[in-house]
Amino acid sequence: MKDKKTLIILSPAFPENEAADYWVPSQQLMVKALKKNYPGLHVIVIALLYPYSCTRYTWNGVEVISFDGTHRRKLKRVRLWYDVWKKMKSIYQENEVIGILSFWCGECAFIGNYFAKGRSLKHFIWICGQDARSTNNWVRFIRPKKEQLMAMSSFLMNEFYKNHKIKPQHIVSNAIDPGMFHAMPGETRDIDVLGAGSFEPLKQYDVFVRVIKNLSKEIVALQARHCGIGRERKKIEAQVMQLSLEKNLQLLGGKSHDEVLQLMHRTKVFLHTSNYEGSSTVCLEALNAGAHVVSFCYPLDYPVSHWHVVKSEKEMTEKALEILQDQHIEYTPILLYRMDDSAKEVMSLINSTGEGHKGKTAHYNLYESQMNNHH
């Protein structure tokens, strides 16, 4: 007789320990929520590329198996797939596997899809961002059915359909864990502008710095902070010095998740300059901490209070300045989605009867009702 019911989760990367809360934050929260809401479920995470070691360990009560596949190219890559397949086969033989969940419609989903097909297992793919773009060549090899696809937002659902001609049937929203937020009584909002994210070209932190510079011309004592690391950090540091912003903008480097949340509670405007984003976790967190979010990208089909969408650097500066100069503006927490609910959506799909679960998720129905209310 096989062991208890098991869910296999395939992810390119996963934290090497519980302190590494900056790695794939949305996926971390999803795994935690699945374990929390279904304590009797055996959750096994298989991490293909990171951590940089082939090991088996426990993370917040979840079994993780890593394969260190980052540097395995060409024939070694095929060997990686074989090793992962072999491990999944062993798990399948020893446990009652109820389904497979792949993060991103990429290499993990490629392995997961063909493994599931051969064993009549349910396989769902969470579309999380870049995988919805036209540059994702994995889709034609995976050949997913629409019933298998769960988009993180309506934007990603439409983007995936536009680029790959397959419309995800389900929306399982990116979300947060409200229990992680601990505002201190009487806490003041002494940070005018906050940014958080990796220094990568996609995030456009050169735009962030220029907006801070323009704001400082109007608000001389402006206080801005940024949390994050990345390959463009030196370039951004040089830009800060070139624009003489040392007194206005502090680059704080890598901070723990809890430290970032505490900074958000002190923030008036959270500035998100990324030029592509499926459903940004930091924006959802900033809203729940009471800050106003100003961004170029927006994941929803309906407006949300305190989330301001702009089309240009000039508009971003103007909107941020308008918020900062408004003496009567409110900093009320806005909770969009709980990850507990998203985890329940996933399990509802996995536990559903019938091939592919033809119905729509509750989140999908919520999107439709919100759109009807605003059109």
Pairing of strands 123-127, 95-103: parallel
Mean pLDDT of the residues in the chain = 92
Q: Given a cut of 80, is residue 130 above it in pLDDT?
A: yes
pLDDT digits (tens, 9 = 90+) for 171-193: 999 999 999 998 666 678 999 99
How far is the CA of 288 from the CAs of 179, 201, 293, in angstroms?
11, 27, 10
- How open is the CA angle 244-247-248, to the nearest 5 degrees? 90
| Ordered alpha helix ranges (H), the chain | 25-37, 75-94, 107-117, 138-142, 154-164, 205-218, 233-242, 257-265, 281-288, 313-325, 339-351, 362-374
Neighbours of 252 (CB within 10 A): 16
pLDDT at 1: 55
> Closest Cα to residue 366, out of 355, 374, 356, 357?
374
Instruction: Catalogue all structural domains in the chain, each as residue range(s) with its CATH number.
Output: 3-175+339-371 (3.40.50.2000), 178-325 (3.40.50.2000)
Whole-number pLDDT of residue 354:
55
pLDDT surpasses 70 at 363: no
pLDDT at 74: 80
**20: confidence class by pLDDT, cuts 50, 70, 90:** confident
Average of pLDDT values for 40-65?
96
User: pLDDT tier at 372 (50, 70, 90 boundaries)?
Assistant: very low
What's the whole-number mean pLDDT along residues 54-76? 92
Residue 358 has pLDDT above 50, yes or no: no
| Tokens matching residue 202 | 């996609």
Q: What is the Cα–Cα distance from 258 to 119, expressed in whole angstroms?
A: 41
pLDDT score, position 22: 80
Quick one: DSSP state of residue 336? -
Q: What is the pLDDT of residue 72?
A: 85
- Tell me which of 73 and 357 has the higher pLDDT: 73
Q: Which pLDDT belongs to residue 153? A: 95
Tell me what percent of the residues of the chain surpass a pLDDT of 90. 86
Q: Residue 150 to residues 208, 268, 282, 286, 364: CA-CA distances in angstroms?
A: 32, 33, 21, 24, 10
The string of DSSP letters for 91-134 reads: HHHHEEEEEEEEESSSHHHHHHHHHHHTTT--EEEEE-SGGGST
User: Which pLDDT score is estimated for 215?
Assistant: 98
CA distance 325 to 159: 36
Task: Give the model confidence (pLDDT) of 300-314 as tens digits.
Answer: 988 999 999 999 999
* Average pLDDT, integer, range 277-288: 94
Instruction: Give the Cα separation of 179 and 338 in Å (integer).
Output: 10
Those residues with Cβ within 8 angstroms of residue 92's Cβ, 6 or more apart along the chain or in another chain: 119
pTM: 0.90
pLDDT in tens, 294-349: 999 999 988 999 999 999 999 999 999 999 999 999 999 999 999 999 999 999 99
The tens digit of pLDDT for each residue in 199-217 reads: 999 999 999 999 999 999 9
**278 band by pLDDT with thresholds 50, 70 and 90:** confident
**HSE of 299, CA atoms in CB hemisphere, 13 A:** 28
Question: Of 36-40, 116-120, 276-280, 357-361, where does mean pLDDT reach its minimum?
Answer: 357-361
Residues contacting 344, CB < 8 A, separation 6+: 37
Residue 351's pLDDT band, with cuts at 50, 70 and 90, is: very high
- Minimum mean pLDDT range among 122-126, 323-327, 349-353: 349-353
Separation CA 132–CA 137 (nearest Å) = 10
Q: Give the pLDDT confidence score for residue 364 in this predicted structure.
A: 45
Query: In angstroms, how far apart are the furthest CA atoms of the chain?
Result: 71
Q: Is residue 45 predicted with pLDDT exceeding 90?
A: yes
The pairing of strands 54-59 and 62-67 is antiparallel
Q: In terms of C-beta density within 10 A (0-12 exposed, 13-18 middle, 19 or more buried), how is residue 369 classed?
A: exposed
Please, is 353 exposed, middle or buried when counting C-beta atoms within 10 Å of its C-beta (0-12, 13-18, 19+)?
exposed
